[in-house]
Structure 1
Amino acid sequence: MSKLLSMTEAIRRYVPDGAAVALGLALEPCIPFAAGHEIIRQGRRDLTLIGPISDILFDQLIGAGCVAKIQAAWVGNVSEGLGHCYRRATEQAQPRPIVTEDHSNFTIGLALRAASLGAPYIPTRSLLGSDLARKNSTFLHASSPFDGSPLLLVPALQPDVTILHVQRSDEDGNAHLWGSLGICQEAMLAARQVIIVAEEIVSREVITSDPNRVIGPSYKVCAVVHEPWGAHPSAVQGYYDRDHQFYHEYHTRTRTAEGFQQWLDEWVLGLKTRQEYIAKLGSARLGALSVKEHRYAAPVDYGY
Structure 2
Amino acid sequence: MAEIATLPEAVGELVRDGDTVALEGFTHLIPMTAGREIIRQRRRDLTLVRMTPDIVYDQLIGAGCARKLVFSWGGNPGVGSLHRFRDAVEKGWPAPLELEEHSHAGMANRYVAGASGLPFAILRGYVGTDLPGVSATIKTITCPFTGERLAAVPALEPDVAIIHAQRADRQGNVQLWGLVGVQKEAVLAARRSLVTVEEIVDELTPVPGAIVLPSWVVTMVAEVPGGAHPSYAEGYSERDNPTYAAWDAISRDRDSFTRWLDDHVHEGSVR
TM-score of the superposed pair, with normalisation by structure 2: 0.95
The number of residue pairs the alignment matches comes to: 271
Instruction: Write the distance in 2 (CA, Å) between the matches of 1:135 and 1:216.
Output: 36
| 1:124 CA drift (Å) | 1.1
Any idea what SS the aligned residue of 1:215 has?
A: strand
TM-score of the superposed pair, with normalisation by structure 1: 0.85
Any idea what SS the aligned residue of 2:198 has?
A: strand
The percent identity for this pair of structures is 41
The residue aligned with 1:13 is 13
Is residue 27 of structure 1 aligned with residue 50 of structure 2? no
Is residue 236 of structure 1 aligned with residue 248 of structure 2? no
Instruction: Write the distance in 2 (CA, Å) between the matches of 1:262 and 1:212.
Output: 42
Q: Which amino acid aligns with 1:67?
A: A
Is residue 147 of structure 1 aligned with residue 152 of structure 2? no
Q: Is the 8 A contact 1:56 1:75 kept in 2?
A: no
What is the aligned counterpart of 1:206 among 204, 210, 230? 204
Any idea what SS the aligned residue of 1:258 has?
A: helix
Q: Which runs of 5+ in 2 are unaligned?
A: none
What does residue range 79-118 of structure 1 map to in structure 2 within 5 Å? 79-118=78-117
The residue aligned with 1:72 is 71
Q: Which amino acid aligns with 1:219?
A: W
Q: Is the 8 A contact 1:114 1:157 kept in 2?
A: yes
* Greater C-alpha radius of gyration: 1
| 1:108 CA drift (Å) | 0.8
The residue aligned with 1:285 is none
The residue aligned with 1:219 is 216
| 1:206 CA drift (Å) | 2.3
Q: Is the 8 A contact 2:25 2:31 kept in 1?
A: no
Greater RCO (Cα-Cα under 8 Å, separation 6 or more): 2
Single out whichever of 130-139 and 112-121 deviates more from structure 2.
Answer: 130-139
- Runs of 4+ residues deviating >4 angstroms: 209-212
- RMSD over aligned Cα, in angstroms? 1.5
Instruction: Write the distance in 2 (CA, Å) between the matches of 1:263 and 1:52.
Output: 26
| 1:216 CA drift (Å) | 2.2
Instruction: Write the distance in 2 (CA, Å) between the matches of 1:270 and 1:100.
Output: 31
| 1:215 CA drift (Å) | 3.4
- Relative distance call for 1:98 and 1:189 in structure 2 (3 A) is same
The residue aligned with 1:291 is none
Q: Is the 8 A contact 2:72 2:101 kept in 1?
A: yes
| 1:2 CA drift (Å) | 6.6
Q: Is the 8 A contact 1:10 1:225 kept in 2?
A: yes
| 1:171 CA drift (Å) | 2.5
Instruction: Write the distance in 1 (CA, Å) between the matches of 2:256 and 2:209.
Output: 45
Q: Which amino acid aligns with 1:206?
A: L
